[in-house]
Amino acid sequence: DAGVIQSPRHEVTEMGQEVTLRCKPISGHDYLFWYRQTMMRGLELLIYFNNNVPIDDSGMPEDRFSAKMPNASFSTLKIQPSEPRDSAVYFCASSLGRVGEQYFGPGTRLTVT
Amino acid sequence: LAKTTQPISMDSYEGQEVNITCSHNNIATNDYITWYQQFPSQGPRFIIQGYKTKVTNEVASLFIPADRKSSTLSLPRVSLSDTAVYYCLVALLRAGNNRKLIWGLGTSLAVNP
């Protein structure tokens, strides 16, 4: 299997622009997770889905962030409008059957200037 | 609300056994603990998972005492390549059979020659 696929790998944008991050989970996995990682705040769980349904979105920082999972093989994390403090590495992960054993993608490094 | 606490950093030498402890108060019988390893510029990687007592796999052991207020990741005979950040994750069972994920802030392990 190719593992979790994220795109783009790097994104540089200006403040105020819309940013869309994409994730393809491992085929057959029923859980999908979005994380944000920074030096200051560490690894933060933003939201996770089970069978395409959002289960816990308590980590989504504010209304500027939204996540969707229209089908089992694709998810997006959107930031609109983006701000410099959103600069971070965003990881997507997926798992099968339970939330503990997650497989992480390579991450998207977002820089907002 | 449950939280996890880990040491910020640890130092060791090649060939030694390393034990990293995560404190997690207020976890129940059905809550399980998972440990991850993260190298720079990569996503976290699953190491081991358990509910109670002791679990062992080819790379590590996980010890969970009866009171379940902590768990210890044990890495036998570490090498330089084990230098990484180690995270504990507690998955709390909630209503609707869903889980709340509580991540530790990570322990940076440095293995010296």
Q: Output the CA torsion sign for A91, B27, A61, A71.
A: positive
Residue B49 touches chain A, beta carbons under 8 Å: yes
When scoring B62, B103, B107, B108 by the number of chain A Cβ atoms within 10 A, the one with the most, hence best to mutate, is B103
* CA distance, residue B42 to nearest chain A CA (Å): 6
Interface A:B, Cβ pairs < 8 A: 48
Of B89, B91, B106, the CB nearest to A42: B106
- Tell me the per-residue pLDDT of A18-28, one tens digit each, with 9 for 90 and over: 999 999 999 99
- CB B43 to CB A104 under 8 A? yes
Residue of B nearest to A57 (CA): B100
What's the whole-number mean pLDDT along residues A49-74?
94
What's the half-sphere exposure (Cβ side, CA atoms, 13 Å) at A8?
9
Distance (Å) of CA B61 to CA A32, B18, B66, B67, B108? 27, 11, 16, 18, 18
Task: Determine the pLDDT at residue B2.
Answer: 66
Residue B99 touches chain A, beta carbons under 8 Å: yes
Task: Determine the pLDDT at residue A1.
Answer: 64
Residue A54 touches chain B, beta carbons under 8 Å: no
Of B43, B91, B106, the CB nearest to A106: B43
Find the angle CA(A14)-CA(A25)-CA(A74) to the nearest 5 degrees.
60
CA distance B101 to B3: 10
Chain B residues within an 8 Å CB radius of A45: 101, 103
Chain mean pLDDT for chain B: 92
Structure token pair of residue A98: 């339970």
What's the whole-number mean pLDDT along residues B50-64?
92
- Tell me the per-residue pLDDT of A88-106, one tens digit each, with 9 for 90 and over: 999 999 999 888 899 999 9
pLDDT tier at B105, thresholds 50, 70, 90: very high
CA distance A67 to A58: 12
> Out of A2-6, A26-30, B23-27, B71-75, which region has the weakest mean confidence (pLDDT)?
B23-27
* Predicted confidence (pLDDT) at residue A50 exceeds the cutoff of 80: yes
Residue of B nearest to A55 (CA): B98
* CA distance, residue A105 to nearest chain B CA (Å): 6
When scoring A37, A40, A99, A103 by the number of chain B Cβ atoms within 10 A, the one with the most, hence best to mutate, is A99
Strands (E), B1-113: 4-5, 9-13, 18-24, 32-38, 45-50, 53-56, 61-64, 70-75, 84-93, 99-103, 107-112
